[in-house]
């Protein structure tokens, strides 16, 4: 059993993997979860070869039973979870006339409901111990709804409200809840392939680096409770806001 465990829900190829990598560098045993754990193989290989400890899990965070089993298995077989990061993405551009109820509901499930299931399950264990950190990944859509993003913005607004309520309820119980607003494009393969100016932006620090972003998650976990941050918004120096 290890004393420090970080669980990353939504350990994707860019932001999620970078967060997992940073916590591993801090000596945490990392539990990385995504719907298809086979896609975590490169991260597992990288961290294992670097002498870090990582476990990969398949989990659909929209499923209550799956989330319950994930937490229970980690707590029983690996160690007490000290930090949970909810990083599930659902950024699907869609005009309101093209947004049917099924699509709207699926985006809400991924970006908001799954956050509720994750946060609640984390709180169930952390309140018993009187310590822990829960961090939710937000976006520009958390605070501003753009044209063509009604479903995503409503879900991200909901996730932010969930995080606010949890922070106020769990803070007095010594559990730090934080919400990170990523107010810019992140240097991912999708951005590289779909944003023509991404290479030029990257050269002048005009696009968010996943590694630099992940440093902030570690910082939030390390904050003393007399100076906790609830909401941290991140953008490159050239981003207008």
Number of domains in the chain: 1
pLDDT at 89 over 70: yes
Residue 121 lies in a domain: yes
185-200: pLDDT as tens digits: 888 887 887 888 888 8
- How high is the pLDDT of residue 213? 97
Q: Does a structural domain hold residue 105?
A: yes
Structure confidence at residue 170 as a pLDDT band (50, 70, 90): very high
Instruction: Give the C-alpha separation, 231 to 241, whole Å.
Output: 16
Name which residue leads in pLDDT, 27 or 201. 27
In a domain, 239, yes or no: no
State the CATH number of the domain containing residue 89.
Answer: 3.40.50.720
Rg (CA), the chain: 17
Kindly state the average pLDDT of the residues 43-68.
97
159: pLDDT confidence band, cut at 50, 70 and 90?
A: very high
Instruction: Tell me what percent of the residues of the chain surpass a pLDDT of 90.
Output: 85
Q: What digits encode the pLDDT tens for the residues 111-135?
A: 999 999 999 999 999 999 999 999 9
Residue 67 confidence (pLDDT) above 70: yes
pLDDT of residue 196: 84
Using CA atoms, how far apart are residues 28 and 10, in angstroms rounded to an integer? 17
Residue 128, in any domain of the structure:
yes
The verdict on residue 187 lying in a domain is yes
Domain presence at residue 61: yes
Does 88 fall in a domain?
yes
User: How many contiguous H segments (helices) and E segments (strands) does the chain have?
Assistant: 9, 7
Q: What does the alpha-carbon distance between residue 109 and residue 105 come to, in Å, rounded to a whole number? A: 6
Check residue 2 and give its pLDDT: 53
How confident is the prediction for the chain on average, in pLDDT? 95
Q: What is the pLDDT of residue 211?
A: 95
Q: Tell me if 240 is assigned to some domain.
A: no
Q: Is the pLDDT of residue 59 over 70?
A: yes
pTM (global) more than 0.85: yes
**Residue 52 is part of which domain span?**
2-234
What distance in Å separates the CA atoms of residue 17 and residue 42, rounded to the nearest whole number? 10
């Amino acid at each position: 059993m290890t004393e420090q465990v970080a669980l990353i829900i939504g350990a994707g190829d860019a932001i999620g993997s970078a967060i997992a990598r940073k916590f591993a560098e801090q000596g945490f045993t990392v539990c990385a979860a995504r719907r298809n754990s086979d896609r975590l193989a490169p991260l597992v290989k990288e961290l294992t070869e670097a002498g870090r400890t990582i476990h990969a899990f398949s989990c659909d965070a929209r499923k209550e039973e799956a989330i319950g089993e994930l937490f229970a298995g980690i707590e029983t077989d690996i160690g007490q979870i000290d930090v949970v990061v909810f990083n599930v993405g659902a950024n699907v551009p869609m005009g309101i006339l093209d947004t049917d109820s099924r699509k709207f509901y699926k985006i809400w499930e991924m970006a908001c409901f799954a956050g509720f299931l994750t946060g609640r399950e984390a709180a169930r264990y952390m309140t018993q111990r009187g310590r822990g950190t829960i961090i939710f990944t937000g976006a520009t859509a958390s605070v501003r709804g753009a044209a063509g993003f009604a479903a995503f913005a409503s879900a991200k607004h909901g996730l932010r409200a969930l995080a606010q309520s949890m922070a106020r309820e769990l803070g007095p119980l010594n559990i730090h809840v934080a919400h990170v607003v990523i107010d810019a494009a992140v240097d991912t393969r999708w951005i590289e392939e779909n944003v023509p100016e991404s290479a030029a932006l990257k050269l002048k620090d005009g696009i968010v680096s996943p590694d630099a972003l992940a440093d902030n998650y570690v910082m939030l976990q390390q904050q003393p409770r007399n100076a906790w941050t609830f909401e941290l918004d991140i953008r490159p120096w050239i981003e207008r806001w």
